[in-house]
Structure 1
Amino acid sequence: MVQSGLQTAVSLIYPPRCLGCGGTVDDDFGLCGPCWRDTPFIGGSICDTCGTPLPGDDLSDTLKCDECMRTPRPWKQGRAALIYRDGARRLVLALKHGDRQEIAQPAALWMSRAIKDLPQDNMIIAPIPLHWTRLLKRRYNQSGLLAQALARHTGLPVCQDLLVRQKRTQPMEGMTREVRFTSVKGVISAHPRRRHRLIGRPVLLVDDVMTSGATLSAAADACIAAGSGPVYVVALARVARDT
């Protein structure tokens, strides 16, 4: 009863704020009505490999988008919670560059709902790694925050340094698809002292945004080369064409 009273007092002094616009909302880490409508959640027909939305009402788990049919993926299945535009894009950029680390908790909840149909027995979660120089500058890995929060929502174990990025690569904005894949080829590997944790078991790779899938492919290749079981991927947001 005392705790309830304290929570009420705190909520009166610091009312819950919308993650998008900062307006007051009913619950912590929520979105107000206008921001919710401006944040495109993925639902309905999707590509089973990368999670991008597809036209039509077919909900089978064998659908593939044109990009995944042209480009075989090293992972088995992939999902994303949001389409990377409008309110979703602002949330991702706020998490990634705006030090809005509180976004990771609700974002991971949305991601946990996106992967609820994936097999999770004996699965381990691993974030896409940052090079140590970029991590030093940014102070945190946004994919690591999402992975940690996703572990809390799903009950799955997480290993933050299961993978390492051995080389610092240039930002991919503006790169062609071919250059993206070339620039990250071979730059990610399994941590030599963590490799035993992935041998023979499914791995769920976590990233903030999936564009071409180049970085996730490099990470999946590293897991498979180290002896993992099937690899799955989930991103907070998917860059989707013609949506």
Structure 2
Amino acid sequence: MTQALDLVLDFVFPPRCLACGAAVGKQGGLCGECWAGLAIPGEPCCAACQRPLTGPAEGGEALCAPCLAVPPRHAGIHAATLYTPVSRKLILAFKHGRRIALAPTLARLIAARLPAGLTGQVIVPVPLHRWRLWGRGYNQAALLAHELARMGHGTLAVDALVRVRRTPSLGGLGKKARRKALRGAIRVAQGRQSVVRGREVLLVDDVLTSGATTDACAAALRRAGARSVRIACFARVLEEAIPLTTNRTPGAAMAPGAG
């Protein structure tokens, strides 16, 4: 029955690449060119934040310069891709183009980067302020978190964090300005401390830019007693990692997020 329905769906809606719209063999996939345009983080990488390193990491304990300068509050960053024109196109369609059907595909790519055996964790999405949520109609991070929970990567706590005041768009702001804008804006929701206390938390967002938003979320979760906080995202902006094939650089002004 499922195969028959798939054939009917393919006949009515021929499979198209999620990024560029070219014909593909299966629903929910990418064409060869767009798949090649994704940059999947790999080894060697920073032992603390999984930032790709250019040299060998002996014993798996090498740290990147940012982590040496400021030890992270999180227990690791697990990004499905680095921020490239293809991943940017997918993020824009998902976040601003209302293509929420992209959530399962993006979540599967995130899940492929998660460490094995972390099934008892609490999955918490980065929150939106209620006005932004009402305006957009959905929280893209919550959709990804829901899919990860559905795949068995932990227990969803969609309302564990709350953004108590509206913050300006962080695009184009420097790191200090971002931290200032987020100061006191994100908290663990009243009555939800017991959900994260003593637990390992997987914090989910769509795109990680400077890390200011996820740092604010991690700090709130740790204050509420979370044992550790890992970060999972679809795309991670790293200016030094790869050159973009467009005329724009992958800085904060280009990234469609505030992470």
TM-score by length of 2: 0.87
Q: Deviations over 1:32-54 (max 9, x none)?
A: 00111112222222223333222
* Deviation beyond 4 Å, 4+ runs, structure 1: none
Alignment of 1:173-212 (within 5 A): 173-212=171-210
- 1:106 — aligned with what? 105
- 3-state SS of the aligned residue for 1:21? coil
Alignment of 1:167-178 (within 5 A): 167-178=165-176
Match of 2:218 among 208, 217, 220: 220
Q: Deviations over 1:109-148 (max 9, x none)?
A: 111111125x625210000000001101111111111111
- 1:127 — aligned with what? 125
Q: Deviation of residue 192 (structure 1)?
A: 1.3
Alignment of 1:143-158 (within 5 A): 143-158=141-156
- 3-state SS of the aligned residue for 2:79? strand
Q: Is the 8 A contact 1:127 1:205 kept in 2?
A: yes
The answer for unaligned runs of 5 or more in structure 2 is: 242-259
- 3-state SS of the aligned residue for 1:145? helix
Provide the C-alpha distance between the structure 1 equivalents of 2:143 and 2:165, rounded to a whole number of angstroms.
21
Q: Deviation of residue 186 (structure 1)?
A: 2.0
- 1:76 — aligned with what? 75
Change in 2 beyond 3 A, CA 1:158/1:201: same
- Once the two structures are overlaid, the 10-residue window that deviates more, 165-174 or 151-160, is 151-160
Q: Deviation of residue 155 (structure 1)?
A: 3.9
- Once the two structures are overlaid, the 10-residue window that deviates more, 48-57 or 104-113, is 48-57
Alignment of 1:10-159 (within 5 A): 10-58=9-57, 61-117=60-116, 120-159=118-157
Q: Is the 8 A contact 1:49 1:79 kept in 2?
A: no
The answer for unaligned runs of 5 or more in structure 1 is: none
Provide the C-alpha distance between the structure 2 equivalents of 1:44 and 1:103, rounded to a whole number of angstroms.
27
Change in 2 beyond 3 A, CA 1:191/1:151: same
Provide the C-alpha distance between the structure 1 equivalents of 2:147 and 2:204, rounded to a whole number of angstroms.
11
Q: Deviation of residue 61 (structure 1)?
A: 4.2
Provide the C-alpha distance between the structure 1 equivalents of 2:2 and 2:232, rounded to a whole number of angstroms.
37
Q: Deviation of residue 80 (structure 1)?
A: 0.8
> What is the root-mean-square deviation in Å for CA atoms of aligned residues?
1.7
TM-score by length of 1: 0.93
Provide the C-alpha distance between the structure 2 equivalents of 1:79 and 1:59, rounded to a whole number of angstroms.
20
Q: Deviations over 1:5-64 (max 9, x none)?
A: 333222222222111111221222110001111122222222233332221354854332
Q: Is the 8 A contact 1:44 1:59 kept in 2?
A: no
